[in-house]
C-alpha cells in the first residue's frame, strides 16, 4: 500500500576477493630451459624467491615474503654469482671448444639472460609488494560457502569423503578413538586366530580326504558329495559366529551431538574437517582424532549442562539471521571496558580458563541448534564489535584471545560463514597482524572490516535492517515489550538519502484504518516531519510531527500511529542538509476498522 518517492536503493556489489599472485611464468621458464649439467654437476641454480601462496595454505605461511632456506651443499652466493654458475653450465655442455666468434655470442646471450632474469626478479618483487598491500584488513573479501550435498561435490572431493569415511569406520571398529588395545594383547589375539585357522584347515583337509576315499568304495556318490560340501560350510559359519563374538562391537562417537556414520548428517561433519585441511584425507583424519580426544579431555558433554553464570551474556549473544538464513552471533568487546568485569574475567589463569569454558559452552549450545542435514545451514554469521574495545596493551585479554582462537580453530572447523568486524579502531591493524599468523588463509578470506562510519552500511549488506539490533543501526528490539507492533517478520525498506536533498515517503490510504509506522535515519543529523494530506480538496492537511532537527542523541527510532477517518496519504519527510549520504529505514502496518 506504500509507494516510495524514489526507487529502492541499489545494494553495492560485494568487493572483489583478494587473490594471491601466481608464480612468475618467466622464472619457471628460465629454470626449465637450463641445459642438464654433466656429472659431476655444479651447484644448482637458486629457486625463485617468494612465490605467492595458494589460497588453501596455512595462515602461518602468510606472515610476509621470506626467502626459502638454501638446500644442503649450496653456497649462499648473490644472484649474480648464481647466474655466473648458470652461464658456466651452459658453456660446459658443448664438448668441442667453440671458435672465438661463437664464444662472444654465447657471452652476449648469457649476459642478456642475466639481465632478463634480474628484470623478472624485480618485476616479481613489485608484484609481491602489491600483494602485501592488498592484505590490509580494511579490504573487503568475498567468500562463497560451498554446498554439503554429495551430488554437488567434485569427483576429488567425493573420493576424499569416501576415503575418510572408511578410515573413520575402521577406527570405530578397532576403537582407535578411545583406548587402543595393548601390543601384547594384539599379538595374543593374532596367534590364537592363526592357531584356530590352522586347526580348521587340517580338519577340512582330513574330512576332504576321507570323503574322497568313501566315494570310491561306497555308493551312492551324490549323498557323499553333499556331505562333503555341507561340512566346510557349517564349519565356516561357526567360525564366523565365533569371530563375531570375539570381536568388540564398533564404538559410538558423537561430535556436536551428531553420531558419526549413522546418517547423512555425519557427511556434513566430515566435510568440515576435510575443508579445514584442503581435502587431505590423512590430515583431516588426524584432526578428527585430536578433536575427539580434546572433547573427551575437556568433558564437553558435561560442560554443555553446567551453570557458569550470566555475567557475560552482554559480551556474546545470538540475535536474528542474515540474508541467507545463518544465525547471527554478536561479540561485544567494549563490555570489557568495565574494569570490574575485566578483572573478574581475565585477572589470572584460573579466571581466563573459566572464560574459555564459558565461551566454548556458548558455542557448543549454539552449534547444537544448527541444521546438519546436507541441505541445511550449519554455519554462523559472526559480528565482532570493537567499539571501546580495550587496546592491545591489555596483556590478559590478548592471551585469552590467542588461546581461544587456537582452540576454536583446531576443534570447531568451518562453523563461520562470515566474520564482520565493525567499529574497527586504528590500532586493530597491528593487533590483526599479530594474530594473523595463527589463522588459515581460508579463515582470513571470510573477514570483512568496517570503520565506525561504515559499520551499519556494511551490516546491511549481509543482514536485513529488521534483523539488526537497534544499537547497530537496525530496527530490531530483543527481549523487550516496548515495540510489540513489529517483529523479525516485518520487513523494512531501505532508502539512501543523497546529500543536500529531501526524501519523502508517501503512504497511500485507501480505507479507514489505524496505521502505525517506525522510521530511523542512521546517525540522524537530519530534519524529520510527518503529515496527513486528505484526498478531499476542502479538507485540511493534518500535521502530525512538525519539522524537527534530529541528532544522534535523540531516540534511534521514531514510532508513531494515526487513526485515519478518510482517504488520503501520509507523508514522511527527511531533509538531509549535510554533505554526507544517509540511510533511511522505515516500515508500517495498516489495520482496517469499521465505524
Q: For residue 292, how many other CB atoms are within 10 A of its CB?
A: 19
Q: What is the mean pLDDT of the chain?
A: 75
pLDDT at 135: 41
Rounded-to-5 percentages of helix, strand, coil across the chain: 45, 20, 40
Q: Are 284 and 274 in contact (CB under 8 A)?
A: yes
Could you tell me if residue 288 is inside a domain?
A: yes
Judged against a pLDDT cut of 60, whether residue 184 lies above it is answered with no
Q: pLDDT band at 212, cuts 50/70/90?
A: very low
- Residues 270-281 have a mean pLDDT of 96
What confidence tens digit (pLDDT) does each residue in 325-373 have?
999 999 999 999 899 999 999 989 999 999 999 999 999 999 999 999 9
Cell of 418: 562470515
**Sheet of 416-422, strand order:** 316-321, 327-332, 380-385, 416-422, 447-449
Residues 453 and 528 in one domain: no
Residues 292 and 311 in one domain: no
- Residues 268-284 have a mean pLDDT of 96
What confidence tens digit (pLDDT) does each residue in 40-50 have?
444 444 443 33
What confidence tens digit (pLDDT) does each residue in 494-529 have?
999 999 999 999 999 999 999 999 999 999 999 999
Residues 340 and 374 in one domain: yes
Judged against a pLDDT cut of 60, whether residue 119 lies above it is answered with no
Which CATH number fits the domain that encloses residue 263? 1.10.8
What confidence tens digit (pLDDT) does each residue in 213-235 have?
344 444 444 444 444 455 666 66
Residues 260 and 397 in one domain: no
What confidence tens digit (pLDDT) does each residue in 146-167 have?
999 999 999 999 999 999 999 9
- Residues 192-221 have a mean pLDDT of 46
Residues 311 and 459 in one domain: yes
Lookup result for grid cell 562470515:
418
Helix (H) or strand (E) holding 505: strand 501-509
What confidence tens digit (pLDDT) does each residue in 120-144 have?
333 344 444 343 333 435 444 457 7
Residues 450 and 382 in one domain: yes
Residues 259 and 356 in one domain: no
pTM of the predicted structure, to 2 decimals:
0.66
Looking at the chain, the whole-number percentage of residues with pLDDT higher than 70 is 63
Residues 276 and 326 in one domain: no
Q: Choose between 437 and 81: higher pLDDT.
A: 437
Judged against a pLDDT cut of 90, whether residue 423 lies above it is answered with yes
What confidence tens digit (pLDDT) does each residue in 61-76 have?
333 333 344 444 444 3
Could you tell me if residue 385 is inside a domain?
A: yes
User: What's the total number of domains in the chain?
Assistant: 3
Residues 433 and 544 in one domain: no
Lookup result for grid cell 557427511:
267
What confidence tens digit (pLDDT) does each residue in 239-260 have?
666 655 556 788 999 999 999 9
Cell of 198: 590352522
Question: Domain ends where: 235, 270, 298?
Answer: 298
Could you tell me if residue 329 is inside a domain?
A: yes
Judged against a pLDDT cut of 90, whether residue 265 lies above it is answered with yes
Could you tell me if residue 26 is inside a domain?
A: no
Residues 459 and 507 in one domain: no
Could you tell me if residue 554 is inside a domain?
A: yes
Q: Choose between 38 and 314: higher pLDDT.
A: 314
Residues 369 and 458 in one domain: yes
What confidence tens digit (pLDDT) does each residue in 17-48 have?
433 434 443 333 334 344 444 444 444 444 43
Could you tell me if residue 331 is inside a domain?
A: yes
Cell of 585: 529505514
Could you tell me if residue 44 is inside a domain?
A: no
Which CATH number fits the domain that encloses residue 402? 3.40.525.10
Q: pLDDT band at 480, cuts 50/70/90?
A: low
pLDDT at 162: 97
Q: Choose between 241 and 581: higher pLDDT.
A: 581
pLDDT at 144: 79
Could you tell me if residue 224 is inside a domain?
A: no
Which CATH number fits the domain that encloses residue 497? 2.60.120.680
Residues 500 and 550 in one domain: yes
Residue range of the domain that includes 263:
155-169+251-298
Cell of 491: 520487513
Helix (H) or strand (E) holding 223: helix 221-246
Judged against a pLDDT cut of 80, whether residue 305 lies above it is answered with yes
DSSP letter string, 4-45: ESSPPPPPPPPPPPP-PPPPPHHHHHHHHTSPPPPSSP-PPP
Judged against a pLDDT cut of 70, whether residue 450 lies above it is answered with yes
- Among 190-194, 520-524, 574-578, name the one with the lowest average pLDDT: 190-194
Amino acid at each position: 500500500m506504500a509507494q516510495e518517492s524514489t526507487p529502492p536503493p541499489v545494494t553495492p556489489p560485494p568487493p572483489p576477493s583478494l587473490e594471491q599472485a601466481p608464480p612468475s611464468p618467466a622464472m619457471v621458464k628460465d629454470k626449465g630451459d637450463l641445459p642438464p649439467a654433466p656429472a659431476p654437476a655444479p651447484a644448482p641454480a637458486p629457486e625463485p624467491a617468494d612465490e605467492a601462496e595458494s589460497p588453501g595454505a596455512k595462515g602461518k605461511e602468510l606472515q610476509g615474503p621470506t626467502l626459502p632456506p638454501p638446500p644442503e651443499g649450496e653456497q649462499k652466493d648473490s644472484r649474480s654469482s648464481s647466474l655466473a654458475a648458470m652461464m658456466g653450465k651452459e658453456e660446459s655442455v658443448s664438448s668441442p671448444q667453440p671458435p672465438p666468434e661463437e664464444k662472444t655470442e654465447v657471452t652476449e646471450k648469457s649476459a642478456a639472460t642475466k639481465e632478463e632474469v634480474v628484470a623478472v626478479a624485480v618485476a616479481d618483487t613489485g608484484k609481491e609488494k602489491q600483494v602485501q598491500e592488498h592484505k590490509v584488513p580494511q579490504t573487503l573479501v568475498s567468500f562463497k560457502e560451498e554446498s554439503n550435498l554429495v551430488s554437488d561435490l567434485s569427483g576429488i572431493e567425493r573420493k576424499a569423503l569416501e576415503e575418510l569415511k572408511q578410515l573413520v569406520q575402521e577406527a570405530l571398529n578397532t576403537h582407535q578413538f578411545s583406548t587402543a588395545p595393548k601390543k601384547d594383547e594384539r599379538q595374543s589375539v593374532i596367534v590364537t586366530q592363526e592357531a584356530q585357522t590352522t586347526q580348521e584347515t587340517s580338519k577340512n583337509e582330513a574330512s576332504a580326504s576321507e570323503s574322497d576315499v568313501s566315494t570310491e568304495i561306497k555308493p551312492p556318490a551324490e549323498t557323499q558329495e553333499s556331505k562333503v560340501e555341507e561340512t566346510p560350510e557349517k564349519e565356516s559359519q561357526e567360525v564366523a559366529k565365533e569371530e563375531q563374538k570375539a570381536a568388540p562391537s564398533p564404538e559410538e562417537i558423537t561430535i556436536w551431538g551428531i553420531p558419526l556414520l549413522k546418517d547423512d548428517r555425519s557427511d556434513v561433519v566430515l566435510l568440515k574437517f576435510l575443508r579445514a585441511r584442503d581435502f587431505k584425507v590423512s590430515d583431516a583424519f588426524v584432526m578428527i582424532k585430536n578433536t575427539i580426544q580434546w572433547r573427551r579431555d575437556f568433558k564437553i558433554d558435561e560442560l554443555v549442562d553446567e551453570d557458569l553464570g550470566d555475567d557475560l551474556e552482554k559480551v556474546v549473544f545470538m540475535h536474528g539471521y542474515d540474508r541467507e538464513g545463518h544465525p547471527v552471533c554478536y561479540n561485544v568487546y567494549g563490555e570489557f571496558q568495565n574494569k570490574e568485569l575485566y578483572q573478574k574475567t581475565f585477572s589470572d589463569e584460573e579466571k581466563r580458563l573459566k572464560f574459555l569454558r564459558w565461551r566454548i559452552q556458548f558455542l557448543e549450545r549454539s552449534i547444537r541448534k544448527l541444521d546438519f542435514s546436507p541441505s541445511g545451514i550449519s554455519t554462523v554469521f559472526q559480528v565482532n564489535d570493537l567499539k571501546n574495545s580495550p587496546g592491545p596493551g591489555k596483556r590478559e585479554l590478548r592471551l585469552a584471545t590467542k588461546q581461544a582462537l587456537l582452540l576454536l580453530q583446531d576443534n570447531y572447523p568451518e562453523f563461520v560463514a562470515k566474520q564482520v568486524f565493525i567499529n574497527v579502531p586504528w590500532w586493530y591493524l597491528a593487533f590483526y597482524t599479530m594474530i594473523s599468523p595463527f589463522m588459515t588463509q581460508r579463515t582470513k578470506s571470510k573477514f570483512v572490516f568496517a570503520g565506525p562510519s561504515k559499520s551499519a552500511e556494511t551490516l546491511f549488506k549481509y543482514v536485513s535492517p529488521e534483523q539488526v539490533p537497534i544499537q547497530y543501526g537496525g530496527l530490531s528490539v530483543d527481549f523487550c515489550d516496548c515495540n510489540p507492533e513489529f517483529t523479525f517478520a516485518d520487513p523494512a525498506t531501505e532508502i539512501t538519502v543523497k546529500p543536500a536533498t529531501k526524501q519523502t515517503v508517501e503512504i497511500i490510504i485507501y480505507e479507514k484504518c489505524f496505521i502505525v509506522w517506525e522510521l530511523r535515519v542512521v546517525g540522524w543529523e537530519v530534519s524529520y516531519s510527518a503529515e496527513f494530506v486528505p484526498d478531499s480538496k476542502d479538507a485540511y492537511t493534518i500535521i502530525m510531527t512538525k519539522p524537527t532537527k534530529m541528532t544522534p542523541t535523540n531516540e534511534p527510532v521514531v514510532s508513531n500511529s494515526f487513526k485515519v477517518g478518510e482517504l488520503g496519504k501520509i507523508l514522511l519527510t527527511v531533509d538531509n542538509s549535510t554533505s554526507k549520504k544517509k540511510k533511511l529505514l522505515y516500515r508500517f502496518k495498516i489495520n482496517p476498522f469499521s465505524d
